[in-house]
Amino acid sequence: MSKAAEGAAPMVRARNVHKSFGPNEVLKGIDLDVAPGEVVVVLGPSGSGKSTFLRCINHLESIQRGFIEVDGEQIGYALRGNRLNRLSDHAIAVQRRKIGMVFQQFNLYPHMTALENVVEAPIGVHGQPRGEAQAYAMELLARVGLAEKANAYPRQLSGGQQQRVAIARALAIRPKLMLFDEPTSALDPELVGEVLSVMRDLARQGLTMIVVTHEIGFAREAADRVVFMDGGVVVEQGPPQAVLGNPQHPRTRLFLSRFIEKV
Partner 1 sequence: MAAASVEIGSGEAALRDVANAHQPPAWGRWLLWAFVLAVAANFAWIAAHNPHFGWPIVGQWFTEASILRGLGVTLGLTVVAMTLGTALGLVLAIARMSKDRLFGSLSGLFIWFFRGTPLLVQLIFWYNLSTLFPEIVLKIPFGPVLASWNTNDLITPMTAAIAGLSLNEAAYMAEIIRGGLLSVDKGQVEATDAFGMTRARALRRVIIPQAMRSIVPPTGNQLISMIKATSLVSVIAMADLLYSVQNVYNRTFEVIPMLMVAVIWYLIITSILNVVQGFIERYYARGERGTGGADKAPVRVEEPA
**What are residue 39's DSSP bridge partners?**
209
Q: Judged by CB under 8 A, how many residues of this single chain contact partner 1?
A: 39
Measured torsion, CA atoms of residues 17, 50, 140, 156, in degrees rounded to the nearest 10: -130
Report the residue from 120, 143, 231, 237 that binds partner 1 according to the rule CB under 8 A. Answer: 120
Report the residue from 22, 24, 80, 155 that binds partner 1 according to the rule CB under 8 A. Answer: 155
Q: Residues 198-201: contacts with CB within 8 Å, 24+ apart?
A: 198/143, 198/144, 198/145, 198/164, 198/167, 199/167, 201/143
Contact call for residue 96 and partner 1 (CB under 8 A): yes
Q: Which is nearer to partner 1, 47 or 124 (CB)?
A: 124
Spell out the residues 6+ positions from residue 123 whose beta carbon is closer than 8 angstroms to its own.
129, 130, 133
Q: Which is nearer to partner 1, 175 or 247 (CB)?
A: 175
**What are residue 73's DSSP bridge partners?**
70
Q: Candidates 70-78, 80-88, 145-153, 247-255: pick the segment binding partner 1 (CB under 8 A).
A: 145-153
Phi, psi (degrees; rounded to nearest 5) at 223? -80, 145
Contact call for residue 136 and partner 1 (CB under 8 A): no
Beta carbon of residue 205, minimum distance to partner 1 (angstroms, whole number): 21
Distance CA 133, CA 143 (A): 15
Beta carbon of residue 112, minimum distance to partner 1 (angstroms, whole number): 7
Q: Under the rule (CB under 8 A), what is the footprint of partner 1?
A: 58, 60, 89-90, 93-97, 99, 101, 103, 105-113, 120-121, 124-125, 149, 151-159, 162, 173, 185-186
